[in-house]
Amino acid sequence: MRISIQLYGAFRQFQEEGKLDLDCPGATTIGDVRAAMDVYGLSHWRGYTSGLMRTSAFATETELLRASSPIPTDGRLAIIPPVCGG
């Protein structure tokens, strides 16, 4: 399955266009997408660490998703890193 992921926050430094189209063959859950994106990040993004992925949330336009949530049928997701500041 091909997943289209909108990138926010710290992820924007790795993909200037703010979007990643990722092939995830056999993926059925958000946990599968998280694992595939982590592998992609480690091999393609200079300065990326798995810690950022572990602390980030996946979402659709209307809800936050758990690792066990199924991938939306349209294959569209967003990844939201932790936010801090004042």
- 10-residue mean pLDDT series, the chain (86 residues): 95 93 96 98 96 96 97 97 72
pTM of model > 0.75: yes
68-76 long-range contacts (CB < 8 A, ≥24 apart) are: 68/29, 68/30, 68/31, 69/29, 69/30, 70/28, 70/29, 70/30, 71/1, 71/3, 71/24, 71/27, 71/28, 71/29, 71/30, 71/32, 71/33, 75/1, 75/2, 75/3, 75/4, 76/3, 76/4, 76/6
Question: Which domains, and CATH codes, for the chain?
Answer: 2-80 (3.10.20.30)
Res 86: pLDDT: 47
Res 16: pLDDT: 86
